[in-house]
Amino acid sequence: MHSYHLDHLQFLETEAIHVMREVAAEFERPAILFSGGKDSICLLRLAEKAFRPSDIPMPLLNVDTGHHFPELNEFRDRRARQLGGKLIVRKVEEAIASGIAVPNPGEVSRNRLQIPTLLAAVEEFRFDCLIGGARRDEEKARAKERFFSFRDAFGQWDPKNQRPEIWNLYNARINPGEHMRAFPLSNWTEMDVWEYIKAEQLDVPSIYFSHQRRCVRRQGQWLPVTDLLPPKGNEPVQDLVVRVRTIGDIISTGMIESPANNYDDIIAEIAAARVTERGSRADDKASEAAMEDRKKAGYF
Amino acid sequence: MPSPTADLPSPTRPHPVDLLRFNTCGSVDDGKSTLIGRLLYDSKNLMEDQIEALERSADITGGGQINLANLTDGLRAEREQGITIDVAYRYFATPRRKFIVADTPGHVQYTRNMVTGASTANLSVVLVDARQGVIEQTRRHTFIAAMLGIPHLVIAVNKMDLVDWDEERFLQIRDEVESFLPRLDVLKDVKFIPLSALHGDNVVRTSEHTPWYQGPNLLGHLETVHIASDWDLSALRFPVQWVNRPNNPTHKELHDFRGLSGQMAGGIVRTGQPVIVMPGGLQTKVKEIWTLDGQLDEAFCPQSVTLVLEDDLDVSRGDMIVGTDSLPGLSSELSARVCWMHQRPLQAGRKYYLKHGAQTVQCAVTHLESRINLDSFEPEPAPAELALNDIGDIRLRTGRSLIFDGYRSNRLTGSFILVEPGSNATVAAGMLAAPVSAFTPDFAEFTI
């Protein structure tokens, strides 16, 4: 006897597939934001579930900050090739060179500069909808975001003026120059993402698994030593067994000490974790409203 | 059937854990956010950095005391004003279930947010301040929960510590709620729980202050309430969302593939089953139920699948595939109850886009039949307009016939939104009245 009842992963999956198909049906030029990170890996599998046996009817878009982990970009390119998808990469460095993105004097982080780079790509390709892997459990400002999140002609999010979202009826109407962000994983948690990756046996970049890396301790975090982030003076460098829990830029992503080298270990580690995923992202610690401010300006 | 991705590993292993969605509502100081904070805190779903952030903000605004409400009041504007301005979603889990909580604000002007947060809920928690008892907001929120057809309701009588855990007070409030429940739309399952969100009594741990209360604590109830029957599995409804045509010139089998992708909105579909494609009314059979994980023998609401039909009919987005036994309505003249969600009021004669399932049509609101008085629950006939947060009954005419069910029998095929042309604002949530008569396909007369 069939139970005719979906478990939680099956429910989240069917909800996300429905959102993806709405995007494909309602927009003329949508794209999927694909970084190679764990959330966007799930997005691509969901796109396969939504659209196969057809080709995925939209290109993949990535904003390359120039500060990406090399393992991430390698994975991104490989996965896009496997899927037969069209991958569009726009670089912050080129946006700086052409004056689209202007760094403050001494600004090292590329975090803010991603925003004009992304919005320039939206204009260049006249994208009317970007599908992103953001989840509401990540952060307090995201907890208030809709599945279909409207952006005005400047790419801005107005949290006080969001469209009410009722049942599974998504209002996809926009005027020329405006665009939409769609978030099929809105209701997923970090644990759901890993359970799904495990259930679907999805490949992920190697840095999610335990490996050896030289790190320095800064502001309570282990940051990887690279050309972009050399040790200062006689700052002690430690050789640690680490992995990443969430991937940002290589200069701001805290490595966690971990022996986890398979899905089950990672799931067990998250179940026992005592800090949130974004606790290891320096970009979110700036202020309590850091994410809210970036989102209003057009961040994913 | 060809499967270009057949080499990828697939089947999702069965998980024993299911998902309950609930929302909390009550008036401004009933302690909704505190209750959610308490649920997260006591069920060990809070992380150290979240507690740290709470403590950091407590130092600035709370005079040193941790404020559990800060967990859900996420935006800066809200923290400054001490209010919740929008629906916030929270996630937590116990070994038995995963939970999605919509924290919906209680201010009068935010009824639209409650409708938003509650529309997808299995269960609503309506908070009542034990000192104040039943107030206008309690009646309003209970009415909305019933109107939306939420299968389960919890009346959480909060701040019981402030009335000395008085059983009489609890029973008074219960009696008062029960006195108006029969006048609402069907509420299948209503539970009353005495608790203190601030101190945690009967939230996650059973209180020693309520020996006179034999029922479960709130989390115990959320973990065990039966939700497997919350979807409609009786009548097959499959709104076609996206036509799946690979049009692959090099792959012979793929070249001819024509699938209809969508999410089951009701019932169960099986291969070989006769179905009717609406609004055309042509009958055919289901040839395959295609998914990336392989073909299925049957699919049920709310699964997302791709159907392949025996005959190559002209089917497009917005059409609906239904069973031959229980047919929906097909009409361009509709009656509905709406919750108005926009500053610009609704007046008869206004035109909107109406989105229903996978189809969007133009519509005109022809009559405002009534506005519901939320104190008396009585309809006031022939209002001049429906303002923001009003609930009323209207009649509409659509530019194309809608394939629909009454909201009471199916929340997915009985609901719609109205979108204002130009501003593109979502201005209303609508629930359709049952069709006056079911659709009659042309061939029916021949089969009698």
* pLDDT exceeds 90 at position B287: yes
How many CB pairs below 8 Å do chains A and B form together?
Answer: 199
- How far is Cα of residue B424 from the mean position of the Cα atoms in its chain? 22
Annotated domain spans of chain B: 18-224, 237-323, 329-432
Neighbours of B221 (CB within 10 A): 18
Nearest chain B Cα to A173, which residue?
A: B424
Residue B184: predicted pLDDT: 84
Nearest to B426 among A50, A163, A289 (CB): A163
Structure tokens at A133: 């892997």
Nearest chain B Cα to A52, which residue?
A: B292
B437, B390, B429: which is closest to B407 by C-alpha?
B429
Amino acid at residue number B291: T
Q: Sign (positive/negative) of CA torsion B315, B318, B321, B326?
A: negative
Residue A39: predicted pLDDT: 97
DSSP secondary-structure letter at B338?
E
* pLDDT exceeds 50 at position B448: no
Is B424 within 8 Å of A5 when comparing Cβ atoms? no
- In angstroms, the CA A117 to CA A95 distance is 6
- Contact call for residues B384 and B319 (beta carbons, < 8 A): no
- In angstroms, the CA B316 to CA A201 distance is 34
Looking up tokens 């959320």 gives: B222
Give the tens place of pLDDT for each residue, A120-151: 999 999 999 999 999 998 877 788 889 999 99
- Contact call for residues B422 and B344 (beta carbons, < 8 A): no
Write out the DSSP string of B153-181: EEEEEE-GGGGTT-HHHHHHHHHHHHHHG
Residue B103: predicted pLDDT: 82
Name the residue with higher pLDDT: B45 or B79. B45
- In angstroms, the CA A18 to CA B430 distance is 21
Is B304 within 8 Å of A17 when comparing Cβ atoms? yes
Judging contacts by C-beta atoms under 8 Å, the chain A residues touching residue B407 are none
Is B10 within 8 Å of A200 when comparing Cβ atoms? yes
Nearest chain A Cα to B318, which residue?
A: A25
Amino acid at residue number B318: G
Distance from the B323 Cα atom to the nearest Cα atom in chain A, whole angstroms = 18
* pLDDT exceeds 70 at position B123: yes
Give the tens place of pLDDT for each residue, B408-422: 999 999 999 999 999
Residue B228: predicted pLDDT: 81
- Contact call for residues A205 and A75 (beta carbons, < 8 A): yes
Structure tokens at A187: 């209701």
* pLDDT exceeds 70 at position B429: yes
DSSP secondary-structure letter at A283?
G
Residue B83: predicted pLDDT: 52
Give the tens place of pLDDT for each residue, A162-211: 899 999 999 999 999 999 999 999 999 999 999 999 999 999 999 999 99
- In angstroms, the CA B308 to CA B287 distance is 5
CA-based R_g, chain A, Å = 19
User: Between the CA of residue A25 and those of A166, B97, B264, B318, B412, what are the distances in Å?
Assistant: 19, 33, 17, 10, 18
Question: B446 falls in which pLDDT band (50, 70, 90)?
Answer: very low
* pLDDT exceeds 60 at position B74: no
Say yes or no: do domains B237-323 and B329-432 share a fold: yes
- Contact call for residues B291 and B307 (beta carbons, < 8 A): no
Is A2 within 8 Å of B100 when comparing Cβ atoms? no
Q: Show the 3-state SS of A201-255.
A: CCCCCHHHCCEEEEEEEECCEEEECCCCCCCCCCCCCEEEEEEECCCCCCCCECE
Identify from A2, A42, A44, A52 which residue to disrupt to test chain B contact, counting B C-beta atoms within 10 A and taking the largest count: A52
Which stretch, A225-234, A267-276, B135-144, has highest mean pLDDT? A225-234
Judging contacts by C-beta atoms under 8 Å, the chain A residues touching residue B93 are 189, 191
Residue B56: predicted pLDDT: 64
Name the residue with higher pLDDT: A287 or A92. A92
Name the residue with higher pLDDT: B126 or B111. B126
- In angstroms, the CA A185 to CA A182 distance is 9
Is A7 within 8 Å of B16 when comparing Cβ atoms? yes
Residue B250: predicted pLDDT: 79
B18-224 classified as CATH 3.40.50.920: no
Judging contacts by C-beta atoms under 8 Å, the chain B residues touching residue A1 are none
Q: Is A177 left (phi over 0), alpha (psi -120 to 50) or beta?
A: left
Structure tokens at A204: 């992920």
Exposure string of B309-343, with b = 16+ CB inside 10 Å and e = fewer, is beeeeebebbbbbbbeeebbbbbeebbbbbbbbbe
Nearest to B228 among A5, A192, A276 (CB): A5
**Peptide bond just before A236 cis, omega within 30 deg:** no
Nearest to A275 among B47, B261, B291 (CB): B47
Is B417 within 8 Å of A200 when comparing Cβ atoms? no
Q: Is A233 left (phi over 0), alpha (psi -120 to 50) or beta?
A: left
Neighbours of B393 (CB within 10 A): 20
* pLDDT exceeds 50 at position B11: no
Residue B64: predicted pLDDT: 46
Is B262 within 8 Å of A21 when comparing Cβ atoms? yes
**Stretch B260-284: mean pLDDT:** 96
Query: pLDDT averaged over chain A?
Result: 91
Question: A159 falls in which pLDDT band (50, 70, 90)?
Answer: confident
Q: Which CATH architecture has domain A8-200+289-297?
A: 3-Layer(aba) Sandwich (3.40)
Name the residue with higher pLDDT: A295 or B60. A295
Is A288 within 8 Å of B57 when comparing Cβ atoms? yes
With a CB cutoff of 8 Å and minimum separation 6, the contacts of A232 are: A216
* pLDDT exceeds 90 at position A79: yes
Q: Show the 3-state SS of B285-307.
A: EEEEEECCCCCECEEECCCEEEE
Write out the DSSP string of B63-113: TT---GGGGT--SHHHHHHTS--S-EEEEEE-SSEEEEEEE----GGGHHH
Structure tokens at B5: 């991705």
Give the tens place of pLDDT for each residue, B80-96: 555 555 788 888 988 88
* pLDDT exceeds 60 at position B289: yes
* pLDDT exceeds 50 at position B4: no
Distance from the A52 Cα atom to the nearest Cα atom in chain B, whole angstroms = 7
* pLDDT exceeds 70 at position A242: yes
Judging contacts by C-beta atoms under 8 Å, the chain B residues touching residue A129 are none
Is A136 within 8 Å of B85 when comparing Cβ atoms? no
Nearest chain B Cα to A56, which residue?
A: B246
Give the tens place of pLDDT for each residue, A92-117: 999 999 999 999 988 888 988 999 99
* pLDDT exceeds 80 at position B291: yes
CATH of B329-432, one of 2.40.30.10, 3.30.390.30, 3.40.1390.10, 3.20.20.300: 2.40.30.10
Nearest to A171 among B15, B246, B424 (CB): B424
- How far is Cα of residue B3 from the mean position of the Cα atoms in its chain? 35
**Stretch A78-102: mean pLDDT:** 95
Residues facing B335 on adjacent strands: B395
Strands B351-356 and B259-263: unpaired
Residue B198: predicted pLDDT: 87
Is A50 within 8 Å of B304 when comparing Cβ atoms? yes
Neighbours of B59 (CB within 10 A): 12
* pLDDT exceeds 70 at position B227: yes
Is B261 within 8 Å of A279 when comparing Cβ atoms? no
B84 phi/psi in degrees, rounded to 5 = -105, 115
- In angstroms, the CA B320 to CA B410 distance is 14
Identify from B234, B247, B263 which residue to disrupt to test chain A contact, counting A C-beta atoms within 10 A and taking the largest count: B263
Among A165-174, B102-111, B201-210, B221-230, which is the least confidently predicted range? B102-111
Nearest to A164 among B3, B290, B341 (CB): B341
Give the tens place of pLDDT for each residue, A11-69: 999 999 999 999 999 999 999 999 999 999 999 999 999 999 999 999 999 999 999 99
Question: B63 falls in which pLDDT band (50, 70, 90)?
Answer: very low
Question: B107 falls in which pLDDT band (50, 70, 90)?
Answer: low
* pLDDT exceeds 60 at position B134: yes
Query: pLDDT averaged over chain B?
Result: 87
Question: B15 falls in which pLDDT band (50, 70, 90)?
Answer: very low
Residue B376: predicted pLDDT: 86
**CATH no. for B237-323:** 2.40.30.10
* pLDDT exceeds 70 at position B108: no
Identify from B78, B144, B244, B340 which residue to disrupt to test chain A contact, counting A C-beta atoms within 10 A and taking the largest count: B244
Residue A13: predicted pLDDT: 98
Is B15 within 8 Å of A289 when comparing Cβ atoms? no
- In angstroms, the CA A7 to CA A9 distance is 6
With a CB cutoff of 8 Å and minimum separation 6, the contacts of B345 are: B385, B386, B387, B388, B390
Helix A263-272 and helix A190-199, axial crossing angle in degrees, nearest 10: 160
Name the residue with higher pLDDT: B189 or B431. B431
With a CB cutoff of 8 Å and minimum separation 6, the contacts of A176 are: none
Judging contacts by C-beta atoms under 8 Å, the chain B residues touching residue A5 are 18, 228
- In angstroms, the CA A165 to CA B117 distance is 8
Amino acid at residue number A7: D
Is A6 within 8 Å of B18 when comparing Cβ atoms? yes
- In angstroms, the CA B193 to CA B213 distance is 8
Is B298 within 8 Å of A2 when comparing Cβ atoms? yes
Proportion of chain B above pLDDT 70, given as a percent: 85
Among A88-97, B105-114, B327-336, B416-425, which is the least confidently predicted range? B105-114
- In angstroms, the CA B177 to CA B170 distance is 11
Proportion of chain B above pLDDT 90, given as a percent: 63
